[in-house]
Amino acid sequence: MDVKIGELSGIAWDADEQLLYAVSDRGAVFHFQLTWDGNRISAAEPVYAANLLDSKGQRVRKGRRDSEGLAVLNANNGKAGDSQLLISFEGEPRIIRFTPAGRAIKNMELPRQLGDVRQLRKPNDGLESVAFHSRYGLLTAPESPLKGKPRTLHTLYGLSKSWSFNAYPAENSSITALETLPDGNMLVLERAWSGFPNPLVVSLRYLDFKQCPKKGACPIHDIQVFSSLLALDNFEGLTHVDGNRYLMISDDGGGDWQRTLLTAFTLE
């Protein structure tokens, strides 16, 4: 099947299969084999591409294909062939468990605050990100805070608990990706843009659950901030590979002004 590689919005690394999975805004899944030169990527070869299918084997219908966030289950348990994908969708908030080939298995239960599309601040401010935590289970966040919440106060939602933290202090800073760290804490990727001539600001941040108070906002630490008037790399995907190696990917938006950029980095 000829499925165009582009508008990649979520990535997840499968250590058992040695594959990088990606999903696009247009409802497709991709597999890449990576070649490394130390901590640098020397090649990313696409080895599989398919449109997402519902549980009956039909293509996810138009208007519901806006796949954004991605996490992989059973990715590092030493067993081949048992991986499953968690994919979050933006317009109509939902998270669905898929096979790696892209066929739906089951709709996941959402935190109760996130099931009503009318609570989204804007129609496309849905579930841009998803992660899985060994203690808290499925974790997700709307791109922007829900209606009635301060625009500058993000919330990370689990089924039984939630955590709030201040957005990065740039106008319209929104959550684009989450990743569970080996230490059990979270990486949060945010993007802020308020139109030309303002810069695009991408911030990579660290949330330590142990520092969160019983009431009030959690402290959050900025690891790296990228700000540019010229570069428009819209980073939306984030994943841990191994050790201190991580990957980010940018969404080219399907246009000529942006590009798909897969970036490797390390955290010390």
Q: What average pLDDT score do residues 10-36 get?
A: 98
Q: What is the mean pLDDT of residues 140-151?
A: 97
| Least confident residue range of 121-125, 146-150, 254-258 | 254-258
3-state helix, strand, coil in the chain (%, to 5): 5, 50, 45
When mean pLDDT is compared across 12-21, 104-113, 230-239, the lowest value belongs to 230-239
Question: What phi and psi, each to the nearest 5 degrees, are found at residue 212?
Answer: -75, 130
Provide the pLDDT for residue 231.
67
Domain assignment present for residue 226? The answer is yes
Residue 230 pLDDT exceeds 70: no
Separation in Å, CA 22 to CA 78, 146, 227: 21, 27, 25
Q: Residues near 4 by Cβ (< 8 Å), separated by ≥ 6?
A: none
Taking the C-alpha atoms of residue 9 and residue 169, their distance in angstroms, rounded to an integer, is 23
Q: Which of 50, 168, 132 is nearest to 176 (CA)?
A: 168
Q: Would you list the DSSP string of 165-183?
A: EEPPSSTT-EEEEEEE-TT
The verdict on residue 3 lying in a domain is no
CATH number at residue 38: 2.120.10
- Amino acid at the residue 250: S
Answer yes or no: pTM beyond 0.85: yes
Which of 113-117, 185-189, 232-236 has the weakest average pLDDT? 232-236
Predicted confidence band of residue 233 (pLDDT cuts 50, 70, 90): confident
Q: How confident is the model at residue 218 (pLDDT cuts 50, 70, 90)?
A: very high
Q: What is the identity of the amino acid at 116? A: D
Question: Does the residue 1 lie in any domain?
Answer: no
Assigned domain for 120 exists: yes
- Burial environment of residue 247 by CB neighbours within 10 A (0 to 12, 13 to 18, 19 or more): buried
Number of separate domains in the chain: 1
Bridge-partner residues for 185, per DSSP?
Answer: none
**Tokens representing residue 194 in the block:** 């308020």
Mean of pLDDT values over 223-240? 87
- The token pair that represents 220 in the structure block: 């959050």
**126 lies in some domain:** yes
Query: Count of H helices and E strands in the chain?
Result: 0, 19
The number of beta carbons lying within 10 Å of the beta carbon of residue 259 is 15
Q: What is the pLDDT of residue 197?
A: 79
pLDDT average, residue stretch 20-44: 97
Contact present, 74 and 16 (Cβ < 8 Å): yes
Q: 164: number of CA atoms within 13 Å, CB side?
A: 14
The pLDDT of residue 244 is above 90: yes
Domain that holds residue 177: 8-266
* Residue 206: closest CA among 224, 223, 218: 223
Per-residue pLDDT averaged across 33-57, rounded? 97
* Residue 2, in any domain of the structure: no
**Look-up: residue for tokens 């625009």?**
151
* Across 256-266, average pLDDT: 87
